[in-house]
Structure 1
Amino acid sequence: MPILSFSDWKTRLSGEGMALPVRPSNSAITKAGIGGFLAIATVALIGYFGGNPLVLGSFGASCVLVFGYPDSPFSQPRNVFFGHVISSAIGLLCLTLLGPAWWAMALAVALAIMAMMALRIVHPPAGSNPVIVFLSMPGWGFLVFPTLCGALLICVVALVYNNLSRTSPYPKYW
Protein backbone atom coordinates (compact mmCIF):
# COMPACT_ATOMS: atom_id res chain seq x y z
CA MET A 1 0.00 0.00 0.00
CA PRO A 2 1.31 3.44 -0.84
CA ILE A 3 1.94 5.92 1.94
CA LEU A 4 -0.46 8.86 1.64
CA SER A 5 0.49 12.43 2.43
CA PHE A 6 -1.69 14.73 4.54
CA SER A 7 -2.89 16.37 1.33
CA ASP A 8 -3.83 12.99 -0.14
CA TRP A 9 -5.78 12.11 3.01
CA LYS A 10 -7.54 15.46 2.99
CA THR A 11 -8.58 14.92 -0.63
CA ARG A 12 -9.76 11.36 -0.04
CA LEU A 13 -11.73 12.20 3.10
CA SER A 14 -13.47 15.25 1.63
CA GLY A 15 -15.83 13.05 -0.38
CA GLU A 16 -16.60 13.06 -4.06
CA GLY A 17 -19.34 15.67 -3.89
CA MET A 18 -22.11 13.24 -4.76
CA ALA A 19 -25.66 14.14 -3.84
CA LEU A 20 -27.38 12.35 -1.01
CA PRO A 21 -29.46 9.33 -2.01
CA VAL A 22 -33.09 10.01 -2.87
CA ARG A 23 -35.34 9.89 0.19
CA PRO A 24 -37.70 6.91 0.07
CA SER A 25 -41.41 7.68 -0.07
CA ASN A 26 -43.40 7.80 3.15
CA SER A 27 -45.16 4.65 2.01
CA ALA A 28 -41.84 2.80 1.52
CA ILE A 29 -40.60 3.99 4.91
CA THR A 30 -43.80 2.85 6.62
CA LYS A 31 -43.79 -0.51 4.85
CA ALA A 32 -40.15 -1.10 5.86
CA GLY A 33 -40.93 -0.29 9.49
CA ILE A 34 -43.95 -2.59 9.56
CA GLY A 35 -41.94 -5.39 7.94
CA GLY A 36 -39.15 -5.02 10.51
CA PHE A 37 -41.68 -5.01 13.34
CA LEU A 38 -43.41 -8.15 12.04
CA ALA A 39 -40.14 -10.03 11.52
CA ILE A 40 -38.63 -9.27 14.92
CA ALA A 41 -41.99 -9.76 16.64
CA THR A 42 -42.35 -13.17 14.98
CA VAL A 43 -38.82 -14.24 15.90
CA ALA A 44 -39.15 -12.98 19.48
CA LEU A 45 -42.62 -14.43 20.01
CA ILE A 46 -41.79 -17.88 18.67
CA GLY A 47 -38.59 -17.89 20.71
CA TYR A 48 -40.49 -16.84 23.83
CA PHE A 49 -43.15 -19.53 23.52
CA GLY A 50 -40.67 -22.13 22.29
CA GLY A 51 -38.36 -21.57 25.24
CA ASN A 52 -35.33 -20.76 23.05
CA PRO A 53 -34.14 -17.23 22.37
CA LEU A 54 -34.13 -16.67 18.62
CA VAL A 55 -33.13 -13.00 18.42
CA LEU A 56 -29.64 -11.78 17.56
CA GLY A 57 -28.64 -8.13 17.48
CA SER A 58 -27.61 -8.60 13.87
CA PHE A 59 -31.20 -9.50 12.97
CA GLY A 60 -32.27 -5.87 13.43
CA ALA A 61 -29.77 -4.85 10.77
CA SER A 62 -31.01 -7.71 8.57
CA CYS A 63 -34.50 -6.23 8.77
CA VAL A 64 -33.20 -2.83 7.60
CA LEU A 65 -31.93 -4.48 4.44
CA VAL A 66 -34.68 -7.03 3.84
CA PHE A 67 -37.56 -4.60 4.31
CA GLY A 68 -35.95 -1.25 3.48
CA TYR A 69 -33.93 -2.40 0.47
CA PRO A 70 -35.40 -5.75 -0.62
CA ASP A 71 -33.98 -5.55 -4.15
CA SER A 72 -30.37 -5.39 -2.95
CA PRO A 73 -28.26 -8.52 -3.43
CA PHE A 74 -27.49 -8.31 0.32
CA SER A 75 -31.23 -8.67 1.04
CA GLN A 76 -31.96 -11.87 -0.84
CA PRO A 77 -33.06 -14.88 1.25
CA ARG A 78 -30.02 -17.02 0.34
CA ASN A 79 -27.72 -14.22 1.52
CA VAL A 80 -29.67 -13.62 4.73
CA PHE A 81 -29.95 -17.27 5.70
CA PHE A 82 -26.57 -18.61 4.63
CA GLY A 83 -24.70 -15.44 5.56
CA HIS A 84 -25.91 -15.73 9.15
CA VAL A 85 -25.35 -19.49 9.38
CA ILE A 86 -21.85 -19.47 7.83
CA SER A 87 -20.71 -16.48 9.89
CA SER A 88 -21.94 -17.97 13.16
CA ALA A 89 -20.36 -21.33 12.30
CA ILE A 90 -17.02 -19.66 11.60
CA GLY A 91 -17.27 -17.73 14.86
CA LEU A 92 -18.00 -20.91 16.79
CA LEU A 93 -15.20 -22.80 15.05
CA CYS A 94 -12.64 -20.09 15.78
CA LEU A 95 -13.79 -19.80 19.40
CA THR A 96 -13.56 -23.57 19.84
CA LEU A 97 -10.18 -24.01 18.16
CA LEU A 98 -8.44 -20.77 19.14
CA GLY A 99 -10.08 -19.71 22.39
CA PRO A 100 -11.55 -16.34 23.38
CA ALA A 101 -8.61 -14.19 22.26
CA TRP A 102 -9.03 -10.76 20.65
CA TRP A 103 -7.08 -11.83 17.59
CA ALA A 104 -9.21 -14.98 17.20
CA MET A 105 -12.34 -12.81 17.13
CA ALA A 106 -10.76 -10.59 14.48
CA LEU A 107 -9.73 -13.64 12.47
CA ALA A 108 -13.27 -15.05 12.71
CA VAL A 109 -14.73 -11.82 11.29
CA ALA A 110 -12.15 -11.82 8.49
CA LEU A 111 -12.87 -15.45 7.64
CA ALA A 112 -16.63 -14.82 7.70
CA ILE A 113 -16.24 -11.92 5.27
CA MET A 114 -14.07 -14.00 2.98
CA ALA A 115 -16.41 -17.01 3.09
CA MET A 116 -19.50 -14.91 2.36
CA MET A 117 -17.75 -13.25 -0.58
CA ALA A 118 -16.39 -16.53 -1.97
CA LEU A 119 -19.79 -18.23 -1.67
CA ARG A 120 -21.69 -15.21 -3.04
CA ILE A 121 -23.86 -14.96 0.06
CA VAL A 122 -22.74 -11.60 1.45
CA HIS A 123 -25.11 -10.27 4.09
CA PRO A 124 -23.37 -7.43 5.96
CA PRO A 125 -25.28 -7.81 9.26
CA ALA A 126 -24.02 -11.41 9.48
CA GLY A 127 -20.49 -10.07 9.70
CA SER A 128 -21.25 -9.21 13.33
CA ASN A 129 -22.17 -12.80 14.23
CA PRO A 130 -18.59 -13.89 15.03
CA VAL A 131 -18.30 -10.89 17.36
CA ILE A 132 -21.58 -11.88 19.02
CA VAL A 133 -20.24 -15.44 19.40
CA PHE A 134 -17.03 -14.24 21.05
CA LEU A 135 -18.87 -11.85 23.38
CA SER A 136 -21.47 -14.38 24.51
CA MET A 137 -19.35 -17.57 24.23
CA PRO A 138 -22.25 -19.92 23.52
CA GLY A 139 -22.07 -23.61 22.69
CA TRP A 140 -22.61 -25.12 19.27
CA GLY A 141 -26.36 -25.07 19.83
CA PHE A 142 -26.12 -21.35 19.01
CA LEU A 143 -25.90 -22.37 15.38
CA VAL A 144 -29.47 -23.72 15.51
CA PHE A 145 -30.95 -21.45 18.22
CA PRO A 146 -30.91 -18.52 17.50
CA THR A 147 -28.95 -18.35 14.24
CA LEU A 148 -30.53 -20.87 11.87
CA CYS A 149 -34.09 -20.66 13.22
CA GLY A 150 -34.08 -16.88 13.56
CA ALA A 151 -32.64 -16.29 10.09
CA LEU A 152 -35.13 -18.74 8.59
CA LEU A 153 -38.05 -16.94 10.27
CA ILE A 154 -36.87 -13.56 9.00
CA CYS A 155 -36.70 -15.01 5.48
CA VAL A 156 -40.20 -16.48 5.73
CA VAL A 157 -41.68 -13.19 7.00
CA ALA A 158 -39.80 -11.30 4.26
CA LEU A 159 -41.07 -13.63 1.55
CA VAL A 160 -44.69 -13.26 2.65
CA TYR A 161 -44.66 -9.57 3.61
CA ASN A 162 -42.59 -8.26 0.69
CA ASN A 163 -44.76 -10.09 -1.84
CA LEU A 164 -47.97 -8.81 -0.23
CA SER A 165 -46.82 -5.20 0.22
CA ARG A 166 -44.95 -4.57 -3.04
CA THR A 167 -45.68 -4.82 -6.73
CA SER A 168 -42.28 -6.25 -7.68
CA PRO A 169 -41.51 -9.84 -6.70
CA TYR A 170 -39.24 -10.88 -3.86
CA PRO A 171 -36.72 -12.48 -4.03
CA LYS A 172 -34.81 -11.38 -7.09
CA TYR A 173 -32.95 -14.73 -7.14
CA TRP A 174 -32.39 -17.83 -5.07
Structure 2
Amino acid sequence: MNYIKKFKGQGVALPDSTHVKEVLFAFIGGFIAISIIGYMTKSFDNLLVLGSFGASCVLIFAYDKSPFSQPRNVIFGHLIATFIGLFFFHFISQEWWSMALALATAISAMILTKTVHPPAGSNPLIVFLLAANWDYLIFPTLIGSIILVVTALFYINLHKNRNYPQYW
Protein backbone atom coordinates (compact mmCIF):
# COMPACT_ATOMS: atom_id res chain seq x y z
CA MET A 1 0.00 0.00 0.00
CA ASN A 2 2.89 2.42 0.67
CA TYR A 3 4.02 1.86 -2.88
CA ILE A 4 0.69 3.12 -4.30
CA LYS A 5 0.71 6.11 -1.94
CA LYS A 6 3.89 7.31 -3.63
CA PHE A 7 1.84 7.93 -6.79
CA LYS A 8 0.05 10.91 -5.24
CA GLY A 9 3.29 12.91 -5.12
CA GLN A 10 5.14 14.61 -2.31
CA GLY A 11 2.96 17.70 -2.09
CA VAL A 12 5.77 19.97 -3.25
CA ALA A 13 4.57 23.29 -4.67
CA LEU A 14 4.73 23.92 -8.40
CA PRO A 15 7.72 25.99 -9.55
CA ASP A 16 7.18 29.74 -9.76
CA SER A 17 5.83 31.12 -13.00
CA THR A 18 8.40 32.18 -15.56
CA HIS A 19 8.48 35.84 -16.56
CA VAL A 20 7.15 36.55 -20.04
CA LYS A 21 10.55 37.99 -21.08
CA GLU A 22 12.22 34.66 -20.29
CA VAL A 23 9.56 32.76 -22.23
CA LEU A 24 10.09 35.06 -25.20
CA PHE A 25 13.87 34.66 -24.91
CA ALA A 26 13.55 30.85 -25.05
CA PHE A 27 11.05 31.12 -27.93
CA ILE A 28 13.42 33.25 -30.00
CA GLY A 29 16.43 31.03 -29.20
CA GLY A 30 14.64 27.87 -30.28
CA PHE A 31 13.32 29.60 -33.37
CA ILE A 32 16.76 30.83 -34.41
CA ALA A 33 18.49 27.48 -33.80
CA ILE A 34 15.97 25.37 -35.71
CA SER A 35 15.71 28.02 -38.46
CA ILE A 36 19.45 27.77 -39.03
CA ILE A 37 19.33 23.98 -39.09
CA GLY A 38 16.27 23.96 -41.37
CA TYR A 39 17.74 26.55 -43.72
CA MET A 40 21.06 24.71 -43.94
CA THR A 41 19.25 21.41 -44.59
CA LYS A 42 17.36 22.96 -47.49
CA SER A 43 20.27 24.99 -48.86
CA PHE A 44 22.90 22.26 -48.78
CA ASP A 45 20.52 19.38 -49.46
CA ASN A 46 21.97 17.51 -46.49
CA LEU A 47 19.94 16.33 -43.52
CA LEU A 48 20.68 18.36 -40.39
CA VAL A 49 17.31 17.99 -38.67
CA LEU A 50 17.06 15.41 -35.91
CA GLY A 51 13.76 15.09 -34.07
CA SER A 52 15.41 15.19 -30.68
CA PHE A 53 16.88 18.62 -31.46
CA GLY A 54 13.52 20.17 -30.58
CA ALA A 55 13.81 18.87 -27.03
CA SER A 56 17.46 19.97 -26.98
CA CYS A 57 16.29 23.51 -27.70
CA VAL A 58 13.93 23.40 -24.72
CA LEU A 59 16.82 22.58 -22.42
CA ILE A 60 19.40 24.86 -24.01
CA PHE A 61 17.29 27.99 -24.34
CA ALA A 62 14.96 27.65 -21.34
CA TYR A 63 17.31 25.94 -18.86
CA ASP A 64 20.78 26.93 -20.02
CA LYS A 65 22.33 26.47 -16.55
CA SER A 66 21.26 22.83 -16.34
CA PRO A 67 24.03 20.24 -16.60
CA PHE A 68 21.93 18.64 -19.35
CA SER A 69 22.24 21.84 -21.43
CA GLN A 70 26.01 22.22 -21.41
CA PRO A 71 27.94 21.84 -24.69
CA ARG A 72 29.67 18.56 -23.76
CA ASN A 73 26.31 17.05 -22.84
CA VAL A 74 24.53 18.29 -25.95
CA ILE A 75 27.21 17.27 -28.44
CA PHE A 76 28.57 14.11 -26.86
CA GLY A 77 25.18 12.96 -25.55
CA HIS A 78 23.77 13.07 -29.08
CA LEU A 79 26.90 11.54 -30.58
CA ILE A 80 27.16 8.66 -28.08
CA ALA A 81 23.46 7.81 -28.20
CA THR A 82 23.34 7.86 -32.00
CA PHE A 83 26.52 5.77 -32.28
CA ILE A 84 25.09 3.16 -29.91
CA GLY A 85 21.82 3.10 -31.85
CA LEU A 86 23.69 2.61 -35.12
CA PHE A 87 25.91 -0.08 -33.63
CA PHE A 88 22.97 -2.10 -32.31
CA PHE A 89 20.93 -1.60 -35.49
CA HIS A 90 23.73 -2.67 -37.84
CA PHE A 91 25.61 -5.28 -35.78
CA ILE A 92 23.26 -6.74 -33.16
CA SER A 93 19.72 -6.92 -34.51
CA GLN A 94 16.96 -4.84 -36.02
CA GLU A 95 14.41 -6.32 -33.62
CA TRP A 96 12.47 -4.54 -30.88
CA TRP A 97 14.62 -5.98 -28.09
CA SER A 98 17.79 -4.64 -29.75
CA MET A 99 16.24 -1.19 -29.91
CA ALA A 100 15.42 -1.39 -26.19
CA LEU A 101 18.93 -2.61 -25.41
CA ALA A 102 20.42 0.20 -27.50
CA LEU A 103 18.42 2.77 -25.54
CA ALA A 104 19.42 1.26 -22.18
CA THR A 105 23.06 1.14 -23.27
CA ALA A 106 22.94 4.77 -24.45
CA ILE A 107 21.51 5.88 -21.10
CA SER A 108 24.25 4.01 -19.25
CA ALA A 109 27.01 5.33 -21.52
CA MET A 110 25.86 8.93 -21.11
CA ILE A 111 25.79 8.54 -17.33
CA LEU A 112 29.25 6.94 -17.24
CA THR A 113 30.78 9.61 -19.49
CA LYS A 114 29.03 12.49 -17.68
CA THR A 115 27.37 13.55 -20.92
CA VAL A 116 23.70 12.98 -20.08
CA HIS A 117 21.44 14.90 -22.44
CA PRO A 118 17.87 13.56 -22.10
CA PRO A 119 16.76 14.44 -25.65
CA ALA A 120 19.58 12.24 -26.97
CA GLY A 121 17.87 9.27 -25.36
CA SER A 122 15.49 9.25 -28.32
CA ASN A 123 18.32 8.97 -30.85
CA PRO A 124 18.70 5.16 -30.77
CA LEU A 125 14.93 4.89 -31.34
CA ILE A 126 15.13 7.36 -34.23
CA VAL A 127 18.00 5.35 -35.75
CA PHE A 128 15.88 2.19 -35.65
CA LEU A 129 12.74 3.89 -36.98
CA LEU A 130 14.63 5.43 -39.90
CA ALA A 131 16.89 2.43 -40.50
CA ALA A 132 19.67 5.02 -40.55
CA ASN A 133 23.09 4.49 -42.07
CA TRP A 134 26.42 5.38 -40.48
CA ASP A 135 26.52 8.82 -42.07
CA TYR A 136 23.63 9.70 -39.73
CA LEU A 137 26.30 10.04 -37.04
CA ILE A 138 27.76 13.05 -38.86
CA PHE A 139 24.66 14.42 -40.63
CA PRO A 140 22.52 15.32 -38.74
CA THR A 141 23.82 14.24 -35.32
CA LEU A 142 27.27 15.79 -34.97
CA ILE A 143 26.92 18.79 -37.26
CA GLY A 144 23.41 19.61 -36.04
CA SER A 145 24.33 19.42 -32.35
CA ILE A 146 27.36 21.65 -32.97
CA ILE A 147 25.10 24.18 -34.71
CA LEU A 148 22.78 24.15 -31.66
CA VAL A 149 25.69 24.82 -29.31
CA VAL A 150 27.26 27.55 -31.47
CA THR A 151 23.86 29.24 -31.80
CA ALA A 152 23.43 29.05 -28.03
CA LEU A 153 26.89 30.52 -27.42
CA PHE A 154 26.12 33.59 -29.51
CA TYR A 155 22.46 34.00 -28.58
CA ILE A 156 22.34 33.23 -24.84
CA ASN A 157 25.33 35.45 -24.09
CA LEU A 158 23.44 38.42 -25.55
CA HIS A 159 21.28 38.28 -22.40
CA LYS A 160 22.75 40.53 -19.72
CA ASN A 161 21.98 38.07 -16.90
CA ARG A 162 23.02 34.83 -18.60
CA ASN A 163 26.36 33.18 -19.24
CA TYR A 164 26.63 30.11 -21.42
CA PRO A 165 28.15 27.63 -20.96
CA GLN A 166 28.59 26.86 -17.30
CA TYR A 167 31.42 24.46 -18.25
CA TRP A 168 32.78 22.56 -21.21
TM-score range, shorter chain: over 0.9
Residue 107 of structure 1: how far off its partner (Å): 0.4
Find the counterpart in structure 2 of residue 63 from structure 1. Answer: 57
Provide the aligned C-alpha RMSD in A: 0.8
TM-score by length of 1: 0.94
Find the counterpart in structure 2 of residue 168 from structure 1. Answer: 162
Counterpart residue identity of residue 107, structure 1: L
Specify the SS of the correspondent of 1:66. Answer: helix
Select the residue among 86, 100, 112 that pairs with 2:80.
86
Structure 2: stretches of 5+ with no match in the other structure: none
Residue 10 of structure 1: how far off its partner (Å): 2.5
Find the counterpart in structure 2 of residue 129 from structure 1. Answer: 123
Residue 166 of structure 1: how far off its partner (Å): 4.0
Does 2:68 correspond to 1:48? no
Find the counterpart in structure 2 of residue 77 from structure 1. Answer: 71
Q: Distance in 1 between matches of 2:129 and 2:160?
A: 38
Q: Distance in 2 between matches of 1:50 and 1:116?
A: 31
Find the counterpart in structure 2 of residue 23 from structure 1. Answer: 17
Change (3 A) 1:106 1:71: same
Runs of 4+ residues deviating >4 angstroms: none
Q: Distance in 1 between matches of 2:25 and 2:167?
A: 22
1:102-141 alignment, distance < 5 Å: 102-141=96-135
Structure 1: stretches of 5+ with no match in the other structure: 1-6
Alignment length (residue pairs): 168
TM-score by length of 2: 0.98
Work out the percentage of aligned pairs sharing the same amino acid: 50
Residue 22 of structure 1: how far off its partner (Å): 1.1
The superposition leaves residues 107-152 of structure 1 with CA deviations (integer Å, 9 ceiling, x where unpaired) of 0000100000000000000000000000001110000111011101
Q: Distance in 2 between matches of 1:99 and 1:146?
A: 23
Find the counterpart in structure 2 of residue 13 from structure 1. Answer: 7
Change (3 A) 1:129 1:142: same
Q: Distance in 2 between matches of 1:93 and 1:136?
A: 14
Specify the SS of the correspondent of 2:16. Answer: coil
Change (3 A) 1:166 1:97: farther
